[in-house]
Structures are given as C-alpha cells and as structure tokens.
Amino acid sequence: MSEVFFYHLQSRPLDAALPQLLEKCLERGWRCAVQATSPERVEALDALLWTYDESSFLPHGTDRQAEPARQPILLTTDESNPNAAVVRFLIDGAAIPDPGAYQRVIHLFDGNDSDAVAPVRQAWRDARAAGHDVTYWQQDANGRWQRR
C-alpha cells in the first residue's frame, strides 16, 4: 500500500512549500511528478522552480517538453507517469485513479479555501477505505510542518 499524505497549507502558500518538499524528495533519490489541473498552472510552477531560490536548483521539466521520462521532477496535468515517479504531488484539486501506483502520494491544499477542502476530505476517506497509510500534516504559525 502507498503512503498518502495530506499537507494543509495555512501560513505559507504552495509556492513556498512545494519547492522545499521537492528538495527533500530529491535528497532521498525519489523521482517526482507534480500534477496540476491546468496548463497555465504547470507553466507557473515551471517558472517558480527555476527562480524560487537563487542558491538552489531543482532539476525539472514539463510533459510538454521533449523526453519527459528523463525529468527527475515532472510537471504535468496528466495522470500518466512517464518519468517513473515514486512520489506524486497533487495540487489544485488534481486527482489520480490509483494512489497504489506510487510509494507516496501527497495532496497539497489551501486550508483557507473551503472549495479546496471538501474534495481533499473525500480523498482522505477514499485512501483510508482502500487501506493506504494516511497521514495529515498541518503548518504551524512559522510554516513548519506538524504531524497531526
């Protein structure tokens, strides 16, 4: 079974939290896919990952570029897994039919957006019912993650 994590963004936005989580995945040697719900969001994430920190580099690409299979981090709107990712990030309400295809699935959602919370609650129930190891993480006032 997969580990399914739910990261409740409260004090820091996705643009600040996602690069740090991706860095930790790469440190562990994990290939990642970040699934958004629109091509515009993928383009914005692509720009973000090139510029979020002058002292860091996150090797990545999008599924619209040549050879997506070579990307350690793939930004996509598609449910496929051409880069053989073991960690799948789901943002903006993106969903996949089978979390069991990954070692870890990470839902990142804005806790201040009631429209974003409802589908994530359903994803929590679905993951538990399927027998996945489910964990909830919430940001403290300083933006650090606390397991709940």
CA gap 133, 142 in Å, rounded: 27
We report the CATH number of the domain holding residue 9 as 3.40.50.10110
Mean pLDDT of residues grouped by 10 in the chain (148 residues)?
Answer: 94 92 97 97 96 90 94 97 97 91 96 88 94 93 86
Give the per-residue pLDDT at 30. 98
Query: Which tokens is 131 given?
Result: 């027998």
Give the per-residue pLDDT at 56. 83
The distance from CA 75 to its chain's CA centroid, rounded to whole angstroms, is 10
Give the per-residue pLDDT at 109. 95
CA gap 28, 64 in Å, rounded: 26
Amino acid at 147: R
Our count of domains for the chain comes to 1
Which residues on adjacent β-strands are paired with residue 137? 7, 147
Strands 145-147 and 133-139, bridge-based pairing: antiparallel
For residue 24, what are the domain limits? 3-147
